[in-house]
A and B are shown apart, each in its own frame.
Chain A
Amino acid sequence: MKALSLSAERLRAMLSTMLLIRAFEEKAEELYGLGRVHGTMHLSIGQEAVAVGVCEALRPDDYILSTHRGHGHCLAKGADVRRVMAEFLGKETGYCRGRGGSMHIADVEGGNLGANGIVGGGLPIATGVGLSIQIRGTQQVCVAFFGDGAANEGAFHESLNLASIWDLPVVFVCENNQYAMSMPVHRAMRVERVADRACAYGIPGRTVDGMDVFAVFEAAQEAVERARAGGGPSLLECVTYRYRGHSKSDRQRYRTREEVERWRARDPIERLRGRLEAQGLLDPEAYEALAAAARERVEDAVRFAEASPEPDPATLLEDVYA
C-alpha cells in the first residue's frame, strides 16, 4: 500500500468530516421520516469522499459551486453544521435564513457560492467566478461540482469551452454517481467516461475512484494547483455511488439491492478507516470516538436548529429589490 502523503492529523480530520457528513445526512433522513422537516432532500450518503477529498485540496478563500446534493460540499468547505441544520429546518438562523433550504444552501463568506436546484446551473456561474479571480489576480480557485446528469446539459459544453479558451482557474468536478435520477450513465452517453469529453475542450480530463478519498484528494490537488498557477481548467471525474434514492420520492426501481450492496462494500469511510488502521494511525477506539463526536455535533446542531426561531412572515419581501 502506498504511504499516505498527508499528516496523520489531517487524515483524521478528513475522516471526521466524512463522518460528520454521514451523520448529518442520516439525521436529515430521520427527521424527514419523523415529519419534522418539509420539502424534499437529496442525500449524498456514499459520496462523502468526493466532497472531502476535493475540499481538502482547497484554501479557505477558494470557492465552490455546489449541487442539489450539496450537504456534503457545504460541510466539507467548512460550514458550521449548526447553521446548515438550521437551514435544512428552514430556520432564521440558517445560512440562508430559511429562504433557501436544502437545495439552495450557500455559505458565501465561507466560499460556498450555493447549491443549485438546476442540473448544470452552477457550471456557467463558475466561469464568471474564474474570470473574476483572474481579473482580480487573487490566485484563488473555483471548484464546480456537478453530476453525471449535468454532463449532458448544454451548459456543460458552453462552460468548459469558455473556461478553456480563457484559461480560467476552474476545476470541474463530476460526481458520477451512476444515475441521473433513474437514468443510468451508460444509457445517457456513448463515451465510457465523462472525463473523455475533456479532450473536446483541450483540457486535462481524469477519472478517479470516487470511493477513495485519497485518490480524489491527489487528483484534485493536481488540478487545483494547475488552476492556481494559471494553467487553466481541468475536468475531474469521481466515480462514486449514492446509497439512497435520488430524492424522497424514489422507489429505486432502476437498480437492484445487490448492486447497492456491491457499492456499499466499497464504502469510502470504511476504506479510509481501514487504511488508517493498517498504517497504525488509528485504532478502533479512536475511530469510535470520532464517530461519536460527529454524531454529537449533529445532535447539537439539531438542538440549535429546533430552538431557533422560524422566519417572521412579515419579512417575506425582505431582499426583494424589484
Chain B
Amino acid sequence: MSRELSYAEAIREALRQAMEADPAVVLLGEDIGVYGGAFGVTDGLLELFGPERVRDTPISEAAITGCAIGAALTGLRPVLEVQFMDFITLCMEQLVLQAAKIRYMFGGKAQLPMVVRTPAGAGTGAAAQHSGSLEGWFVHVPGLKVVAPSTPADAKGLLLASIRDPNPVIFVEHKLLYRTRGDVPEEPYEIPLGQADVKRAGTDVTVVATSGMVPRAMAAAERLAGEGVSVEVVDPRTLRPLDTETILRSVRKTGRVVIVYEAVKTLGIGAEIAARIAESDALYHLQAPVVRVGGAECPIPYNRGLERAAVPQEEDVVRAVREVLAA
C-alpha cells in the first residue's frame, strides 16, 4: 500500500520505522525533540520514543558528532541531525578524521553504523551561512557514504538503508524538497546505496541531476518534450559510491550530456561525473562537449533575485540542453 507523503514525512516515517524495528536506533541533534527539528522532520518522535532515544543536544557540533561515533562504535545506531549543512563545517574533524577512518585505521576491527542527516541548499532566503551544498567535500573522502535523495519514496528507502548500513553515511536532504509530495509505500523498504535511478527515460540528451536539481531537470525535460526533445533524467541518488555505469549507459545511448548540481560548479560532483565519462568508452559516443550547470562561484546572497541567480534554475537546464543539441 502506498499513499502520498511529503519528503519530510517520508523521512520521519523512515526514522519511526527504524526505531520501531531496532532499539539501538537513537536520534541526536539540536532541537529535534519538542521543537521537532528546525524543519520539523522529527516532529512527534519525542512523544513516540521518549527523550532517551530522541535526544536534544546542546549546540556542540563537534561533541555530538563524536557522540554519534562513540555510540556507533559500541552498539548503537545513532542518527544525528546537523541542523543546516553549513554547520557541518563544525563537525569536520570528527567526520573526516575520525568517522571516515576508524574502520580502515583499525584494520577492519570496528564498524560505525551511523547516519548524519542534514538539510542543504539555497532557496529559502537564509543567505550565505545557511544555504550551502557541501556534499562534494564528503564525496572526496574514502570512508564516508554520501546519499542525496530527490523524492519522498527515495528518501524513505535510502534512509532505511543508510541506518542499516554498518558504515557512516552523510544523508543530504534538500530544504526545498521537504514539502514536495509523492507516493511512498507504507511498509518499511530499503533502496540499496550506490544505485542511480532513471527518473525519466529519453533518447536525445542525458541530464544527470542531483538532489534539489532533480525536480528542475524533470520540469525542464517536460518543457523540452513539448518542443520534441526527448530528455533522459538520471538521478545518481548516492554520490559516494557513485553508480557510474547507469550514467555511462545513458550517455552511450543519447550521445549528449548535461550535468546539473547546485553546489559551486568548480570541483563539484559534476566535475567527477564529467571526468568519469571522459575516462570511459562513453566518450566516443559523445556528439557534443559535456556541459555542467552548477552553482555560481560566490556565496549564496540574501536578495531573492540574487539568490535565484546563484543556483541553477529550470531555464538554465533548458538552455544547457539546447546548447548540447546545437553543438
Which one of B62, B63, B71 lies within 8 Å of A132 (CB-CB)? B71
CB distance from B163 to the nearest CB of A (A): 15
Indicate if B109 sits at the interface (CB-CB under 8 A): yes
Neighbouring A residues of B64 by C-beta, 8 Å: 124, 162
Q: Tell me if A321 counts as interface (CB < 8 A to partner B).
A: yes
Q: Which residues of A contact B93 (CB under 8 A)?
A: 118, 121, 155
- Of the listed stretches A19-27, A30-38, A92-100, chain B binds A92-100
Contact for B62 among A114, A158, A166, CB less than 8 A: A158
- Complex Cα distance, B109 from A94, in Å, reads 11
Asked if A319 is an interface residue, CB under 8 A from chain B, the answer is yes
B66 contact from A94, A123, A133, A166, Cβ within 8 A: A123
Q: Does A109 contact B (CB under 8 A)?
A: yes
Q: Are B76 and A131 in contact (CB under 8 A)?
A: yes
Chain B residues lying within 8 Å of A99, measured Cβ to Cβ, are 104-107
A85 lies within 8 A of chain B by Cβ:
no
CA distance A63 to B110 in the complex (A): 14
Task: Judge if B324 is at the interface, Cβ distance under 8 Å.
Answer: no
- Whether A130 and B109, one on each chain, are in contact in the complex, defined by CB atoms closer than 8 angstroms, is no
Kindly provide the distance from the CB of A150 to the nearest chain B CB, expressed in whole angstroms.
12
Chain A, range 64-94, C-beta contacts under 8 Å to B: 65, 94
B60 near A114: Cβ-Cβ < 8 Å: no
Given A118-B98, A124-B63, does the pair A322, B143 have CB atoms closer than 8 Å? yes
A278 within 8 A of B: no
For B52, give its contact among A124, A135, A142 (CB under 8 Å). A135
Bound CA span A171–B62, Å: 19
Residues of A within 8 A of B103 (CB): 319, 321
Interface presence of B94 (CB below 8 A): yes
Q: With A99-B106, A159-B66, A320-B143 as known contacts, state yes or no: A129 contacts B71, CB within 8 Å.
A: yes
Q: Are B67 and A124 in contact (CB under 8 A)?
A: yes
Known: A114-B102, A128-B68. A155 touches B107 (CB 8 A): no
**B36 sits at the interface (CB 8 A):** no
Asked if A253 is at the interface (CB within 8 A of a chain B CB), the reply is no
In the complex, are the beta carbons of A136 and B75 less than 8 A apart? Answer: yes
The answer to whether the Cβ of A165 comes within 8 Å of any Cβ in the partner chain is: yes
Chain A residues near B98: list those with CB within 8 A. Answer: 116, 118, 121, 125
A242 within 8 A of B: no
Q: In the complex, A162→B324 CA distance in Å?
A: 54
- Give CA–CA (A169, B65) in the complex, Å: 18
| Across-interface contacts of A133 in B (CB, < 8 A) | 74
For chain A, which range describes its interface: under 10, 10 to 19, 20 to 34, or 35 or more residues? 35 or more
**A295 interface residue, CB < 8 Å from B?**
no
Q: Is B172 an interface residue (CB 8 A)?
A: no
User: A-B contact count, CB below 8 Å?
Assistant: 156
What residues of chain A lie closer than 8 Å to B71, measured between beta carbons? 128-129, 131-132, 135
A161 neighbours in B (Cβ, 8 Å): 58, 60, 63
Q: What residue in chain A is nearest B169 (Cβ atoms)?
A: A322
Give the shortest distance, in Å, between B169 (CB) and chain A (any CB): 8
Provide the bound-state CA to CA distance between A104 and B110, in Å: 13
Contact between chains at B142 and A320 (CB < 8 Å): yes
Query: Which residue of B has the minimal Cβ distance to A123?
Result: B66
A63 and B74 CA atoms in complex are apart in Å by 9
Contact of A124 among B65, B74, B109, B144 (CB under 8 A): B65
Per the 8 Å Cβ criterion, residues 71-89 of B in contact with A are: 71-76, 78
Per-residue interface assignment for chain B, residues 107 to 139, with 1 indicating a CB less than 8 Å from any chain A CB and 0 otherwise: 111100000000000000000000000000000
Set A100, A126, A130, A136: member contacting B106, Cβ < 8 A: A100
With contact pairs A113-B73, A121-B98, A322-B143 given, residues A128 and B110 touching in the complex (Cβ less than 8 Å)? no
Query: Does B175 count as interface, using CB distance less than 8 angstroms?
Result: no
Closest chain A residue to B170, Cβ basis: A322
Name the distance in Å between B191's Cβ and chain A's nearest Cβ.
16
Q: Is B167 an interface residue (CB 8 A)?
A: yes
Within 8 A of A (CB), among B38-62: 52-53, 55, 57-58, 60-62
Closest to B144 in A: A322
When the two chains form their complex, are residues B145 and A158 in contact, meaning their CB atoms are under 8 A apart?
no
- B70 at the A interface (CB under 8 A): yes
**Minimum CB distance partner of B114 in chain A:** A128
Q: Which residues of A contact B60 (CB under 8 A)?
A: 158-159, 161-162
Q: Is A154 an interface residue (CB 8 A)?
A: yes
A residues within 8 A CB of B105? 96, 99-100, 104, 106, 114
Check if B107 sits within 8 Å of A127, measured CB to CB.
no
B70 x A162 contact (CB < 8 A): no
Hey, what's the 0/1 contact readout for A96-112 against B, CB within 8 Å counting as 1?
Answer: 11111000101011000
Could you tell me if B97 and A128 are in contact, using CB atoms closer than 8 angstroms?
no
What's the nearest-Cβ distance from chain A to residue B30, in Å? 12
The closest CB in chain A to the CB of B194 belongs to A322
Question: Which residues of B does A touch, CB under 8 Å?
Answer: 26, 52-53, 55, 57-58, 60-76, 78, 93-94, 97-98, 102-110, 142-146, 166-167, 240-241
A158-B61, A161-B63, A320-B104 are known; give 6 further A-B pairs, CB within 8 A.
A97-B108, A104-B106, A125-B67, A125-B73, A128-B70, A161-B60
Q: List 10 A-B contacts (CB under 8 A).
A: A98-B107, A113-B70, A114-B102, A128-B72, A128-B73, A128-B74, A154-B62, A320-B142, A320-B143, A322-B146
Which 5 A-B pairs rank lowest in CB-CB distance, beginning with the nearest? Answer: A124-B66, A128-B70, A97-B107, A158-B63, A96-B107
